[in-house]
Structure 1
C-alpha cells in the first residue's frame, strides 16, 4: 500500500486495459490449475492470445486477487477467494460493489500498478487532457529516479484513461476495450463529448457502498499498523500512502456521511472524535477487512431475498 520507489511496476499489462470477463475467467482457471499461466494450453483454456494470457495474469496480480506461490505457480488471495472462489460472493462480477473494491485493490498496489496509484493519489488536476497526464506521470517518474522508459510511461497514462473513461466515440480507442472495462462504470474519470479532455473530481459517490468503504478503512489501518488517523489523512494522500477520499474521489462531506452511516450500521469498529481541534477516526478494535465484504454481500443477499 505504501509507495516505495525501489519497488514499482510499469508496463506489465502488455498494453491491454482490464476487460470485463478477465478477472473471473482467469481466477476460475487458476483454481482449476495453479500453473495455468505457464501452461501450454493457457491460450485454449482462456480463449485469448499469449499476450492476453500475460495481461490477465497481470491484472489478477494488480487487483490483489492472486499472488505468487513460490515453486507452485500462483494462488488465490483471501479477498480473491471471497469474491471469485467456488463459494465466492460475486463469481461473475455482477455487483458494482465488486468493481469499487477492485478499484481500491489496484490503486493501493503501487508495486504492481504504479501509474494507477499515482493518478488517484498524486495527480490533482480536476480537468486535463491526456498529454497532461502523460507529462505529469513522466515528471513523477523522473523526480523519483524510477527506472522505466518514456514510452512505457506514456502507455500507462493512456491505459489509465482508457480503463476509467467511457468512450465518446473519438475513433482512437478500440470500441471493444471501451465497452469491456468494468472500471468505466464508476465514473471516476469522464471524457468530454469531443473526446479531447477529461474530468476527475470529488463527488458524493452515492454508488459507493459503505461496506466497501469499511473494507478500505480497515485495510488502511491494518497496513499502517495504526488505530487512529486524522480525517484529513483519510481525505488526502500523504507521504506515499493511498487515502480513501482520494482513491474514491469523495468530497469531505461524502466521506463523513458514509463514515457515520457505517458506524451506525456496524457499531463498535470505527469512531470519529475531536482531539486537540483535529477530527480523528479511531479503530476501536482490530478487524479483518473481510468482515466488511461479508457485511456488504450478506446485506445484498438479504435484500434480494426480501
Structure 2
C-alpha cells in the first residue's frame, strides 16, 4: 500500500517538528540494530552528532538548559524503558559530547534535578555519545542509487544517515547544511483569501461586505491592486464552488448569503477554513510504503535470517520500482 501527503516549505523551525516525527523510533533497540545491518553500511549519526544539530543555538542560561534537558529526556523516554534518572545522565553526557555544555554545567544540571549519579557513569555516557549509534531515533538513509551530483548539490553524504536538523533543512527546500540549493528557483506562498479581503474570522461576512468582495475590494470597501483583486475574486468564488467568469444569479445570491454557491450552509469555522486556504509552495512529498500484513507476518516468522533478508529485499525492490515510476 502507498499513501502520501505533501508538506509546505516554510520556516526551518516548522520543518523541525516534521523531521522529529519522521525520525521517531518505533523499533526496540535490538530491532534497530538489525535495521542498521540491512541498511548495508549506512552509518547512523552518533547521539552527540544528532544532539548537536537538534539543539543547536541553545543558550547557556540554566533555565533554558534545564528545559532542553527535560525535552531530551522526554524524547529518550519514547524509545526505552530506562528510568528518568538514567536518561537524565545519558542526556547530560550527550550534551557534553556534543559540545553544547561543559562537564561542570552537566553536573550542575543533574544536581539541580536531584539526579543521583557517579562521575564514572557520566564519563561512560559521554564516551558512548561520541562513539555509539543513535538508536533513539530512526535513521534517515539516503538512497543508494542517488546521483552523486545530486547528492553533492543537496549536501548529502550517501554513506551516512542524516541528522534531524539535516532532514528539517531538506524538508524546507534547502541543502542539508541549511544553505540555499544552487540554481533552485524560490517560490513564495499565496496569501490567504480571508487576509486579502480583511475578513473578520469571528463571524460570517455580511451581504454588503460580500458585495464588496465580489467587486474586488476589502470587506470595508478598501481598494486592492487590480491584478491581485482579480486573482483573489477568482479564488474566492472557486473555494465556494463557482467560477467567477460564469457566475449565475442563483450562485451569486447564495454566495452573498454566506453559503456555498450551490446553497449549502456553512458554519463560521467552515467558512473561514475555506477563506484561510493558501497555496503554499510544496516543500516535500512524504510517501509511506506499507507491505501487506501477510508479508509482515512472513518476515516476522521466517525460520532463518536468510529468508527474512530475502523478504525484506523484495520489499525494498518493490519500493525502488515504485519510486522509478513516481519520478518519471
TM range (shorter): under 0.3
TM-score by length of 2: 0.26
TM-score by length of 1: 0.28
- Point out which structure has higher relative CO (alpha carbons under 8 A, 6+ apart): 2
